[in-house]
Each structure stands twice: as C-alpha cells, then as structure tokens.
C-alpha cells in the first residue's frame, strides 16, 4: 500500500467514525439497566406477582421501542429480608452490573436502609412497596422517591369510617418492626384527633413471622376491647384469623385491618376469611375503569392468572421509571430527580403524580369490607380513594422532612 493510499484509508476510517459519532445518539446501542432488590424468598405471596408486573411493563416498553431508543433490562436480587444484605447487593448492582437506577424493597426497615444507601452513593432510588412514612419524611432525601401509599395515607383513608363506628375501647395488634410500629402509632394519633374520648386498652406486637397466635388472641380477649386494629399480614395474619375464629375473638367486635383486602393475604384464608372487616385492599375482580381493564387483560393474557396488588405495584414502578427517563431524556441521577418532581404517570389505578415536596406519589387505594363468599374472601362495598387527599400540605412536609 502506498503512502497516499494509506493516508486515504486512514482519512476514510476517521471520517466514518466521525459520521457514526454524530449520527448515533449516546448509548443508543446500550440497554438501560434497572437494578431491583427485594425479599423474594421471605415474602413470595406479594413479590412473585410483583416481579411478573415488572416483567410485563418491561416487555410492553421494549416492544414499543424502549426509552429514547434504548431497551430496558431488569436485574433482580434477593435481599434475604436483611438490611445488610440489601445494601451489599445494591453495591454489587452498581459496581458489577453498572445499573442506571435502583428500585424495589418490600419490608420497611430494608426500604430505609436503601434510602440511606441512595443518599450516600448519590444514586436514584424508587421505593416501590415499603410503607413507612420515614422514607419520604423523617429520613427522606433528594435521591429517593416512593410509589405506594404510605402507612399514614392508608390509615388516614380508614379513619373517617373508623371514627363513625364510635367504638371507645380499642386493642391493637401489629408486627414488631418499622412498618407495624409506624402503622400503630399513626392509627392512635389520627383516631385520637378524630375521636378524643377513644381508649387504647391493649397492644400486642409479636415479631414479624413469629406470631404466637394463641397468646396474642388471649391477651386481646382479656382486654375486652370494643374493636381491634390489626396490622398483621401474610402467614401471621392466617394464624391470627384461625385462632381468633376458634376463640370467638371477632364475634360482636369491629375489626379494622390494613392490607387484609389484598388478594395475596385474603385468598389464603379461604373458608376462614372473616366477614365485615373494614380493610384496605385490591378488588381486581370488580374494578371497571378503562386503565384497569387494559392492565387486567394484558396481565391475564401474559400469565394466565389473576393479578395481585403486588402486580400493580411492580408494573407501576417500571412505568414510573420509564416515564421519568423519557421526561429527563437521560438516566443521569440529577436529571431523573428533576424529572420525577411533579412527574405524572398513567397506572392501572389511574393517573398519579410524584409530589415535589416529599417525593411521595399520589397513588390511592381501595377501602371496603371483607366478605366470605362461598368459602373465599372478597372485598365488598369498596371505593377508591385518591392518595392526594390523604397527604399533608407542603408546609407541613417542611416540618417533617430534613432540609436538602
């Protein structure tokens, strides 16, 4: 090859590289990696449907061309229901997998650990499921946003109906960790404000996953309450309901129960499902909105089973991240933070907004009564309550949330 032809070849290669650089957007050939951390082995009833919801959203987004020309890739890790393990796998997702964002967590104390990790590492984190208010208020930070309605929001949705019962003597039972403690504290605070003469005559706080149902039910019965506020869920709830039915704890007493209307917790009760409990939940079989009908058809078509509330949360979390990335035209942390403030996202529950003041979404929830219908628990007389109506004002948030 002559010197002149060599020069032409080099120039051609250089010109080709320049053209490619100018015509191909940055990262166009790369995928967007979403790192997701959750307690899959410890909480399968909620998290197996949750993962399917995420997968459905990723498939829909990629089939439509991805985000700004890039496909999504979901990389999941199990945290073993341990905050230390959650932080360790978050480190691994960032350093080894080079994820663009973090999402997930179910248990509140793990959500708080990842909230702090996001702050320390300056990485964007969307908490999907953990319900403690501290994630967006006392421990809130600029890097963390939260999807699901919090303990405060869900209790506030129940309290008007609770106060209308005019029951004076209340007993409480809740799992003894962050979520249960915060739910119980909020219930006492909001009910006392609505009904000043209320009395709290007993509290039982068994360790998560280790309820001694016999002694708990007996202690509640001994207090002779007019009504019971329950925060137990999963296997703990099943044991509590079985023992309470056996001992007649619920006869003649109102029971108000967080999460019990969610099919992942109501379905396993089968013919032991209680009648008449006031609950938050997800009556997927009766929601007639266009958004939910579209989601239901897609989910049942893909997985050949009915959705659970976990399905809604997982699906909506991925849709939220996608909308944020579209608005930001980037996966860079600072641009995502700016995009998520005031971000509107269409979900199976309708349009939600991520508030600028505390990074909490306005997703609402369904409140109704349980009914044992032919040996299966369902929700009846339910209504959807908009989460935006059960959140403190921007001025109140300033007092709750650390300055940034």
* Total number of domains constituting the chain: 2
Question: Do 45 and 55 sit in the same domain of this protein?
Answer: yes
Q: Supply the DSSP symbol for 401.
A: S
- Alpha-helical runs (H) found in 254-289: 263-266
Domain finish residue from 329, 347, 364? 364
Question: Do 136 and 180 sit in the same domain of this protein?
Answer: no
Positive or negative torsion for Cα 59, 319, 52, 263 = negative
How remote is the C-alpha of 368 from its chain's centroid? 20
CA distance 77 to 79: 6
186, 161 Cβ separation under 8 angstroms: no
Q: Supply the range of the domain harboring residue 373.
A: 152-287+366-390
Q: Is residue 5 part of a domain?
A: no
Strand partners, 127: 104, 146
CA distance 58 to 64: 10
Q: Of 106, 146, 105, 103, which Cα lies nearest the Cα of 391?
A: 146
Q: Is residue 226 part of a domain?
A: yes
261, 282 Cβ separation under 8 angstroms: yes
* CATH at 229: 3.40.50.2300
Question: Do 216 and 248 sit in the same domain of this protein?
Answer: yes
Question: Do 345 and 224 sit in the same domain of this protein?
Answer: no
| Per-residue confidence (pLDDT) for residue 403, from 0 to 100 | 80
Question: Do 252 and 193 sit in the same domain of this protein?
Answer: yes
Q: Is residue 24 part of a domain?
A: no
Q: Is residue 62 part of a domain?
A: yes
Cβ atoms < 10 Å from Cβ of 199? 12
pLDDT tens, the chain, 404 aa long: 554 554 454 454 444 444 443 433 434 459 999 999 999 999 999 999 999 999 999 999 999 999 989 999 999 999 999 999 999 999 999 999 999 999 999 999 999 999 999 999 999 999 999 999 999 999 999 999 999 999 999 999 999 999 999 999 999 999 999 999 999 999 999 999 999 999 999 999 999 999 999 999 999 999 999 999 999 999 999 999 999 999 999 999 999 999 999 999 999 999 999 999 999 999 999 999 999 999 999 999 999 999 999 999 999 999 999 999 999 999 999 999 999 999 999 999 999 999 999 999 999 999 999 999 999 999 999 999 999 999 999 999 999 998 87
CA distance 246 to 131: 31
Which SS3 state, helix, strand or coil, does residue 154 take? helix
Question: Do 46 and 145 sit in the same domain of this protein?
Answer: yes
Q: Is residue 81 part of a domain?
A: yes
CA distance 365 to 150: 10
β 377-385/365-372 pair status: antiparallel
Q: Is residue 1 part of a domain?
A: no
| Per-residue confidence (pLDDT) for residue 35, from 0 to 100 | 98
| Per-residue confidence (pLDDT) for residue 1, from 0 to 100 | 52
Question: Do 129 and 49 sit in the same domain of this protein?
Answer: yes
| Per-residue confidence (pLDDT) for residue 9, from 0 to 100 | 47
23, 87 Cβ separation under 8 angstroms: no
Question: Do 168 and 224 sit in the same domain of this protein?
Answer: yes
177, 107 Cβ separation under 8 angstroms: yes
Which SS3 state, helix, strand or coil, does residue 371 take? strand
170, 226 Cβ separation under 8 angstroms: yes
Q: Is residue 395 part of a domain?
A: no
Question: Do 354 and 372 sit in the same domain of this protein?
Answer: no
pTM above 0.85, yes or no: yes
| Per-residue confidence (pLDDT) for residue 404, from 0 to 100 | 73
Question: Do 242 and 373 sit in the same domain of this protein?
Answer: yes
CA distance 328 to 145: 15
Q: Is residue 125 part of a domain?
A: yes
Q: Which two tokens stand for residue 203?
A: 């509290």
Output the furthest CA–CA distance in the chain (Å, rounded). 101
Question: Do 282 and 203 sit in the same domain of this protein?
Answer: yes
| Per-residue confidence (pLDDT) for residue 25, from 0 to 100 | 40
Question: Do 267 and 385 sit in the same domain of this protein?
Answer: yes
CA distance 381 to 373: 14
The DSSP element (H or E) to which 294 belongs, if any, is helix 290-303
Tell me the C-alpha to C-alpha distance, in Å, between residue 242 and each of 148, 235, 249, 252, 258.
29, 11, 10, 17, 17
């Amino acid at each position: 090859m002559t010197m002149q032809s060599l020069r032409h070849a080099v120039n051609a290669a250089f010109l080709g590289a320049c053209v490619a650089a100018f015509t191909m957007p940055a990262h166009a050939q790369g995928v967007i990696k979403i790192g997701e951390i959750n307690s899959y082995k410890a909480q399968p009833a909620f998290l197996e449907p949750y993962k399917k919801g995420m997968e459905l959203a990723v498939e829909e987004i990629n089939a439509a061309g991805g985000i700004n020309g890039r496909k999504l890739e979901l990389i999941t890790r199990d945290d073993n229901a341990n905050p230390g393990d959650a932080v360790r796998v978050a480190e691994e997702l960032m350093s080894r997998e080079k994820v663009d964002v973090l999402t997930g967590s179910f248990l509140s104390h793990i959500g708080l650990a990842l909230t702090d990790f996001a702050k320390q590492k300056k990485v964007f984190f969307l908490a999907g499921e953990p319900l403690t208010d501290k994630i967006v208020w006392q421990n809130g930070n600029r890097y963390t946003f939260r999807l699901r309605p919090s303990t405060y929001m869900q209790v506030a949705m129940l309290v008007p109906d609770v106060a209308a019962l005019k029951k004076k003597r209340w007993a409480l039972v809740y799992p003894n960790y962050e979520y249960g403690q915060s739910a119980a504290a909020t219930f006492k605070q909001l009910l006392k404000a609505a009904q000043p003469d209320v009395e709290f005559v007993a509290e039982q706080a068994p360790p998560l996953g280790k309820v001694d149902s016999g002694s708990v039910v007996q202690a509640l019965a001994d207090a002779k309450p007019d009504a019971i506020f329950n925060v137990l869920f999963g296997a703990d709830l099943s044991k509590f309901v079985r023992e309470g039915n056996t001992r007649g704890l619920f006869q003649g007493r109102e029971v108000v129960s967080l999460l019990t209307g969610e099919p992942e917790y109501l379905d396993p009760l089968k013919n032991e499902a209680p009648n008449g409990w006031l609950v938050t939940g997800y009556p997927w079989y009766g929601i007639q909105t266009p958004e939910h009908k579209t989601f239901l058809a897609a989910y049942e078509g893909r997985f050949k089973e009915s959705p659970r509330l976990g399905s809604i949360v997982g699906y909506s979390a991925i849709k939220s991240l996608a909308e944020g990335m579209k608005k930001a035209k980037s996966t860079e942390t600072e641009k995502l933070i700016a995009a998520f403030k005031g971000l509107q996202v269409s979900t199976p529950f309708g349009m939600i907004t991520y508030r600028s003041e505390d990074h909490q979404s306005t997703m609402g929830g369904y409140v109704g009564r349980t009914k044992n219908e032919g040996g299966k628990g369902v929700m009846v007389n339910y209504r959807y309550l908009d989460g935006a109506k059960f959140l403190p004002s921007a001025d109140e948030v300033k007092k709750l949330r650390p300055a940034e």
